[in-house]
Amino acid sequence: MPELSHRRRMLVLAICCMSLLIVGLDNTVLNVALPAMRQDLDASVAGMQWTIDAYTLVLASLLMLAGSTADRIGRRKVFMAGLVLFTLGSALCSLAPSLETLIAFRMVQAVGGSMLNPVAMSIITNTFTDPRERARAIGVWGGVVGISMAAGPVVGGALVDSVGWRSIFWINLPVGIAALLLTWRCVPESRAPKARRPDPVGQLLVITLLGSLTYAIIEAPQKGWTSAEILFFAALAAASLTGLLVYEPRRADPLIDLRFFRSAPFSGATVIAVSAFAALGGFLFVNTLYLQDVRGLSALDAGLWTLPMAAVVCVLAPLSGRVVAARGPRIPLLVAGVAMALSGLMFAAFDAESDTASMFTAYVLFGLGFGAVNAPITNTAVSGMPRAQAGVAAAVASTSRQIGQTLGVAVIGAVLAAGVAGAGSSYGSGPAGDFVAASRPAWWIITGCGVCVLLVGALSSGRWARETARRTAERLEESEEASAPAAGAPAGRSSSAGTRA
């Protein structure tokens, strides 16, 4: 395929960024709308959790499958299918007559969303073949995350207050349709020279593990931690994890290559991604309920409260990427861990809710931590990996982010629900002190997530960690070279990024 012109490459980047924007907006907009949705649909705490986790759970389960399928059958085909499903799911969500149908339509959205971000990253990698151009393109791509965080709560709050919560899904429709038409006209088709084979057993085990674990955590406060149903799903999650550990090492092309975890930077990036995004999911969930149900703010005012955090993320995320490129991931990870831990500690131990200045400071600190952590996660995950394995390693890091957000909402929501129930009240009906006291354990969990980012970041970015990454990369390269004659494609193996359509 002939090299695309600069203008055409910029257009492809803009299309990919549009997909990231609607997926990012969907999460941040939804958080602001939770209280209005709860009242309109008569939802419980668990119901609110499921509107978020149904989406992130399906997304986490299908990200790697979508990426490998796109490599095999064509990235443009899968990307367009994702846009169709995401746009259709958004339209259905806006029409949902009940909580159950809303959750089901959110899952349709998630199936489409799983085909967008990882596939868009592959399209960018395939389009921008010059390393410096590619780095700038990925920097623009990362900046869209901050824009979605900043715009989402404010746009969502304005829509909820003026039109109603259903309108938050309408904003995806024109963007999704425009992106679909532009993709059809402007994005060239591309495939990987050697795609990974499907792993249906591994995929089923991942879905079962994440689904059963999340169900057990969310439903346990209502049904009892020792009830037969919760114990069954906990046992099912344990059995699925055991199945993955036993089955995946026996496959030539496993869904999850467990040898990656011998690299301390890769293992550290996975733990950091889960911890940081669990903190983010919990932070947004608790604050949305506090600002609207306890302080009595409108959805728009609650959205404006998150602007300091989002603004810091917008500014710091690209700076963090530059520091990672120049000095490595260690400094951003340490800054992220300290800032996120201090933010949680201000709520957990120093009653930040009681003082506007303290609450503002805690929001800024959390934005500082989250803005610093995102760039080094992918960098640490792929650190030292062979080029042929870097895409898979980055996909695992992306999956870890979604798993973290899923577990954060599930665990912190369950802790909050148990605390409010113990106080004998419910969301929006009890005294403010009941909610603040019930949220204290949730803030300690968020603080613990920040401490985990700090400690694991320090451990996984030092000399010893880099040595484990080097040894792991050597073993993976030796294994790949040994299997090359059987695959019969040494030439295909060398074109690592799929730079031809």
Write out pLDDT tens, residues 149-163.
Answer: 667 888 888 888 888
CA 415 to chain centre: 21
**Least reliable range by pLDDT among 72-76, 196-200, 262-266:** 196-200
Rg from Cα positions in the chain = 22
**Ramachandran assignment for 478, one of left (phi > 0), alpha (psi -120 to 50 degrees), beta (any other):** alpha
Distance, CA of 367 to CA of 275 (rounded, Å): 15
Lowest mean pLDDT among 135-149, 158-172, 200-214, 298-312: 135-149
List pLDDT tens digits, range 244-258.
999 988 887 787 778
pLDDT band, very low/low/confident/very high, at 486 (cuts 50, 70, 90):
very low
Q: Specify the pLDDT at position 496.
A: 38
Q: Is 488 left (phi over 0), alpha (psi -120 to 50) or beta?
A: left
| Residue 271 dihedral angles phi and psi, to the nearest 5° | -65, -40
Of 94, 166, 153, the C-alpha closest to 300 is: 153
| Owner of token pair 């500690």 | 345
How far is Cα 57 from Cα 408, in angstroms, rounded to an integer?
A: 12
Mean pLDDT estimate for the chain: 82
Q: Summarize pLDDT for 195-205 with one digit per residue, the tens.
A: 677 888 988 99
- pLDDT for 452 equals 96
Task: Say whether pTM exceeds 0.75.
Answer: yes
Rounded to whole angstroms, the Cα distance separating 227 from 233 reads 10
Asked if the model's pLDDT at residue 265 lies above 60, the reply is yes
Q: What are the tens digits of pLDDT across the range 467-481?
A: 888 888 788 777 666
Q: What is the pLDDT of residues 119-146, one digit of tens each?
A: 887 787 777 777 667 667 766 766 676 6
pLDDT at 362: 94
The residue to which tokens 């000399």 are assigned: 463
Which pLDDT band holds residue 442 (cuts at 50, 70, 90)?
very high
| pLDDT at 449 exceeding the cut of 90 | yes
Q: CA-CA distance, 45 to 34, in Å (whole number)?
A: 10
Q: Burial code of 332-359, b = ≥16 C-beta within 10 A, e = fewer?
A: bbbbbbbbbbbbbbbbbeeebbeeeeeb
For residue 256, which amino acid is it?
Answer: I
Confirm if 25 and 151 have CB atoms less than 8 A apart: yes
Length of the chain: 501
C-alpha 124/C-alpha 141 separation (Å) is 9
